[in-house]
Structure 1
Amino acid sequence: MAGRWKHPGLIGELAAEFAGTMTLILFGLGVVAQVAGGGIGDHDSIAWCWGLGVMLGIHVAGRTSGAHLNPAVTIALAAFKGFEWRKVAPYATAQFLGAFVAALLVRWNYTEVLHAADPGLTIKTQGVFSTLPGNGTLPVSEWGALRDQVIGTAILLFLILAVTDAAGTPPAANLAPFVIGLLVVAIGMAWGTNAGYATNPARDFGPRLASFFTGYAGAFRDQTGYPYFWIPIVGPIVGGLAGAGLYQLLIGRFLPAAAPREPGELPTPDRAEATRG
């Protein structure tokens, strides 16, 4: 008979965040490389595969770390849900590293395809690894992209808290990863035009850095030459705080307290925060 489950400690949590984020990015970047480099698939296949990647990443890391997989999520949970601030920087670092390693693997595996589609490794295939305003082709300004990232990530965090709040109406039978995956699909289909729905600083900066180190000299700039890299970092953090705060203001503070849970544990229908802001 298995013994009582023991919390793995911070090292275990960081390993889970690394592995979960890596899983997410392997599927997310892989599908974009297939579409942009090989011409196989379309926008819908990209949206669905990103959602599936999120779902699988949550399954990988959920029990151990809570499967944040996103610095914007980690910061918002620290601000509004009692996650320990001392863990925010280590979690974010693990997430960035997981995304960076996954991007290197995708870059390596799709080397022939990417060089055939874009021999100069230009803005044409830069979108495989990092987001661009208007997806590199539409007339969306950098400030329009920042607005988009704030709004899109606010929606993401508002609904993640709604789905995982044990005092609300969470999915039964551990279906939260599936529902959150569907949420990402929906955001991709409804909010993907203006800025590629990064909604995750690790998802964008880790692969952006990996692409820079592997031949994409313009990785930190957009199609106009603007140093765009900061927008998918700042926008999601601001939007995540706004979305989580709005959830607490409109919904969370009116719900009854539920049973306490371990910090970082993935919320389930029978365990949640004992206190609310």
Structure 2
Amino acid sequence: MEGKVMRKIWERCALRRDIAKEFLAEFLGLFVLVVFGCGAMAQMTLARRIAGDLMTVHVGFSVGLTMAVYVSGGVSGGHVNPAVSLAMVLLDRLPLKKFPVYVLAQFLGAFVGSCVVFALYHDALMSHGGGQLTIWGVNATAHIFASYPARHLSAGNGFLDQVVATGMLTLCILAVTDGDNMGAPRGMQPVSIGLIILGIGSTMGLNCGYPINPARDFGPRVFTALAGWGKGVFRFGGYWWWIPVVAPMVGGAVGAATYLFLIGLHHSELHRRRVAPHRVAPQQVREDLSNQKSTDMSRLTLPCCAGV
């Protein structure tokens, strides 16, 4: 009886269209990332570094991204970042028509994640700032949700910072998921991607806190503008807000192009066909494989998900 009930629920509620499933997967992925990452920032800030420090923030974002990819990877590819989605479009691994759907889902997931972090730490936020939500100063809390530049940072240097950091992220993701390269064992790619974030946070966080994700930065920033911090979240730092939105997109494209031209294009054709046999005619695959005495047909596998 219970099985019949569950079957009826599944038949009524299960989505049929792939794009709807992918939308929900990217939404939930960003939600998980922001709850873990911004939650770590909130704990460090509101406890005045007694219950956390920069390393716990790095770990929070790393674990958050790892879990986000585990949550969404099998459905949408686990992009959870518009810059990664753009890279997949440029590499012909994601149809262009799906790109705006992914970006919208990512933005909304980050926005809702910010709502949850705000609700979770509402009383602590009010206590920390004496009832005031401020952007700068000893009691500032806006940086819990979005990035802001350090005093020494110029707009040009900040733009370069985000291009380089996001380029490194994209390049390393492509390496981790490249079946023609060493790659990571199946099921371990999310862990490897989380370690990339740990590395970036430990080495490239000084200037502006390594946002490297337009949705993760812009969604929470919009939330803070609506929740009480005001329009200053967009004006602060000489209208800094657009840099962590635009520069990571450039960095994602640069990182993808770098990996493609220095590594991806130089894999042997036969090896590529073993990994992605669906991209060539079956007869051509059989002919090529028959010429290799050591070929093992069991090595023919489909490529891994585009963004995992």
Normalised by the length of structure 1, the TM-score is: 0.89
2:146 aligns with one of 107, 130, 138: 130
Alpha-carbon distance, 1:53 to partner? 0.2
Whether contact under 8 Å (2:173, 2:193) holds in the other structure is: yes
Structure 1 pair 171/8, CA: closer, same or farther in 2 (3 Å)?
farther
Task: Find the aligned partners of 1:250 and 1:79 in 2 and give their Cα distance.
Answer: 16
What's the CA shift string for 1:169-222, capped at 9, x where partnerless?
Answer: 111142100000011011000001112101000000000011111001122133
Task: Find the aligned partners of 1:133 and 1:231 in 2 and give their Cα distance.
Answer: 10
2:60 aligns with one of 49, 53, 71: 49
| 1:253 paired to 2:265 | yes
Whether contact under 8 Å (2:277, 2:301) holds in the other structure is: no
Alpha-carbon distance, 1:271 to partner? 2.7
Whether contact under 8 Å (1:166, 1:271) holds in the other structure is: no
Whether contact under 8 Å (1:7, 1:64) holds in the other structure is: no
2:176 aligns with one of 146, 157, 163: 163
Indicate the RMSD between aligned Cα atoms, in angstroms. 1.9
What's the CA shift string for 1:141-161, capped at 9, x where partnerless?
Answer: 222211100110000000000
Question: Which structure 1 segments of 5+ residues have no match?
Answer: 1-5, 263-268
Determine the structure 1 residue equivalent to 2:106: 95
Task: Find the aligned partners of 1:233 and 1:150 in 2 and give their Cα distance.
Answer: 11
- Local SS of the residue matching 2:40: helix
| 1:11 paired to 2:20 | yes
| 1:141 paired to 2:163 | no
Determine the structure 2 residue equivalent to 1:3: none
| 1:77 paired to 2:88 | yes
Task: Find the aligned partners of 1:143 and 1:120 in 2 and give their Cα distance.
Answer: 32
| 1:66 paired to 2:77 | yes
Task: Find the aligned partners of 1:261 and 1:77 in 2 and give their Cα distance.
Answer: 18
2:97 aligns with one of 83, 86, 89: 86
For structure 1, which segment, 111-120 or 205-214, has the greater mean C-alpha deviation from structure 2 after superposition? Answer: 111-120
Give the alignment of 1:215-226 within 5 angstroms: 215-217=228-230, 218-222=232-236, 224=237, 226=238
Determine the structure 2 residue equivalent to 1:22: 31
Question: Which structure 2 segments of 5+ residues have no match?
Answer: 1-14, 280-299
| 1:34 paired to 2:43 | yes
Structure 1 pair 7/177, CA: closer, same or farther in 2 (3 Å)?
farther
Alpha-carbon distance, 1:247 to partner? 0.3
Determine the structure 2 residue equivalent to 1:237: 249
Determine the structure 2 residue equivalent to 1:107: 118
Larger radius of gyration: 2
Task: Find the aligned partners of 1:261 and 1:236 in 2 and give their Cα distance.
Answer: 32
Task: Find the aligned partners of 1:116 and 1:221 in 2 and give their Cα distance.
Answer: 26
* More helix as a share of residues: 2
1:179 aligns with one of 173, 182, 192: 192
Report the AA paired with residue 28 of structure 2: A
2:227 aligns with one of 214, 220, 231: 214
How many aligned positions are there? Answer: 257
Report the AA paired with residue 152 of structure 1: A
Task: Find the aligned partners of 1:155 and 1:270 in 2 and give their Cα distance.
Answer: 27
What's the CA shift string for 1:210-250, capped at 9, x where partnerless?
Answer: 1111001122133x4x1111110101000000000000010
Determine the structure 2 residue equivalent to 1:266: none
Structure 1 pair 191/7, CA: closer, same or farther in 2 (3 Å)?
farther
